[in-house]
A and B are shown apart, each in its own frame.
Chain A
């Protein structure tokens, strides 16, 4: 419950403050969002599995975003930018799907 409120607070804050993202960081934004989604769904699933751990959640979020950004940066430098970030999206997408499936099993028993 608190988590949902915190999420909403973040969204409201984002809309209210309306920060401008520097142009250098713009390519990393979508991939950061996907990484954050992965961390969030992982956390929700862990909560439902009753093995949620604050430290694990925080560390997984930060490292996910950083590693995803790093891979995109590396891809840009190596000249394979698009492909490497596709790899990131695929791996994180698979994890999101798996976790959402687990959450669904928890909620609907199906």
Chain B
């Protein structure tokens, strides 16, 4: 960028010491001034040059207008396609979720059917033992009194799982919060735990995928309700646990909400049947039905994800 010709009699060419200051002071291309000065010095150019130059600049102006129109159309055309893609994805997710729900309902029905048939086939005490085992392992629906722990994001926006556009926004509950709460509920004596209606079993996982939290690979969203059935002392024990202490601190600092309340007559759904691919039941039909949870080996999480809360001794 050369200095303007009127700056203190300096010659027109030469770099200004401070480019930005010069830019602010004299934004016009100095070429115009140069051209004007040249015209003053030399006689007018031949007539044909003047007209052809004029024509070219008119063409350029038309090109500029063309460019504006194209850019405008391009921007306008891009917007709906992006929205459409997002809406399509959301619709797909919703549809798949409802499909899964339907199939889950069907599976539940079939499982109940199986249970009935089995009860009919087995003797009374055996059937009762089986039902107890199912309830204990999370494969059967259970009822009882317990506590409900409710965690809510700071500003409950409808953040969807697809777009991460609510990141860096208000404070959100993260998957480790749910893990800690679930673990400390187990540690406080809970016998059955569910998160937003997803029953936790020995192989359940709580993990994050992007901005979403997945419990057993199904997304759960705020508000998160961790329900647990257990003894009457569970509430007090949990209130004194590390998770409750930590979450209270977090809630105070960041504005997300954390509530613990007693609840009566909770019903926790059954967890889907785990598909055991590697572990096979060893055939020694003599486990004592009254075997306490600590006797059993706690099974590790599936495929080494390492984030599964373990029902027995799951405190870390």
User: How far apart sit A26 and B75, CA to CA, in the bound complex (Å)?
Assistant: 10
A102 close to B27 (CB less than 8 A): yes
Q: Which residues of A contact B70 (CB under 8 A)?
A: 14, 19, 21, 29
User: How far apart sit A97 and B23, CA to CA, in the bound complex (Å)?
Assistant: 11
Residues B29-88 near A (CB distance < 8 A): 29, 31-36, 39, 50, 53-54, 56-71, 73-75
B65 close to A6 (CB less than 8 A): yes
User: How far apart sit A49 and B34, CA to CA, in the bound complex (Å)?
Assistant: 13
A102 close to B61 (CB less than 8 A): no
In the complex, whether A8 has a CB less than 8 A from a CB of chain B is yes
Q: Which residues of B contact A3 (CB under 8 A)?
A: 57-58, 61
In the complex, whether A81 has a CB less than 8 A from a CB of chain B is no
In the complex, whether A74 has a CB less than 8 A from a CB of chain B is no
User: How far apart sit A9 and B290, CA to CA, in the bound complex (Å)?
Assistant: 89
Q: A46-B32, A56-B35 are in contact. Are A10 and B61 (CB under 8 A)?
A: yes
Interface of B, helix, strand, loop or mixed by DSSP: helix
Cβ contact of A21, chosen from B23, B53, B61, B74, cutoff 8 A: B74
B64 close to A94 (CB less than 8 A): no
A55 close to B62 (CB less than 8 A): no
Residues A60-110 near B (CB distance < 8 A): 60-62, 91, 94-99, 102
User: How far apart sit A94 and B75, CA to CA, in the bound complex (Å)?
Assistant: 24
Cβ contact of B57, chosen from A8, A32, A57, A98, cutoff 8 A: A57
Q: Which residues of B contact A91 (CB under 8 A)?
A: 23
Cβ contact of B32, chosen from A19, A32, A51, A97, cutoff 8 A: A51
Interface size grouping (class) on chain B: 35 or more
User: How far apart sit A93 and B27, CA to CA, in the bound complex (Å)?
Assistant: 10
Q: A21-B70, A54-B54 are in contact. Are A49 and B32 (CB under 8 A)?
A: yes
Cβ-closest chain A residue relative to B64:
A36
In the assembled complex, the CB of A10 is this many whole angstroms from the nearest CB of chain B, namely 2
Instruction: Count CB-based A-B contacts (< 8 Å).
Output: 130
In the assembled complex, the CB of B68 is this many whole angstroms from the nearest CB of chain A, namely 6
In the assembled complex, the CB of A8 is this many whole angstroms from the nearest CB of chain B, namely 7
In the assembled complex, the CB of A53 is this many whole angstroms from the nearest CB of chain B, namely 4
Residues B138-195 near A (CB distance < 8 A): none
B64 close to A40 (CB less than 8 A): yes
Q: A7-B65, A51-B36 are in contact. Are A14 and B27 (CB under 8 A)?
A: no
A99 close to B31 (CB less than 8 A): no
User: How far apart sit A97 and B57, CA to CA, in the bound complex (Å)?
Assistant: 23
In the complex, whether B28 has a CB less than 8 A from a CB of chain A is yes
Cβ contact of A10, chosen from B29, B53, B62, cutoff 8 A: B62
Q: Which residues of B contact A40 (CB under 8 A)?
A: 61, 64
In the complex, whether B278 has a CB less than 8 A from a CB of chain A is no
Q: Which 6 A-B pairs have the closest CB atoms?
A: A10-B65, A14-B69, A98-B27, A54-B53, A51-B36, A53-B35
Instruction: Given contacts A8-B65, A12-B65, A60-B31, list 7 more A-B pairs with CB under 8 A.
Output: A10-B69, A15-B69, A53-B31, A53-B39, A54-B56, A94-B24, A97-B27
Interface residues, chain B, with chain A CB atoms under 8 Å away? 23-24, 26-29, 31-36, 39, 50, 53-54, 56-71, 73-75
What are 28 pairs between A and B in contact, CB < 8 Å?
A3-B58, A3-B61, A6-B61, A7-B65, A10-B62, A10-B65, A12-B65, A13-B66, A14-B65, A18-B73, A29-B74, A30-B71, A30-B75, A33-B67, A39-B64, A42-B29, A51-B32, A51-B35, A53-B35, A53-B36, A56-B34, A58-B57, A60-B31, A61-B60, A62-B60, A94-B23, A95-B27, A98-B24
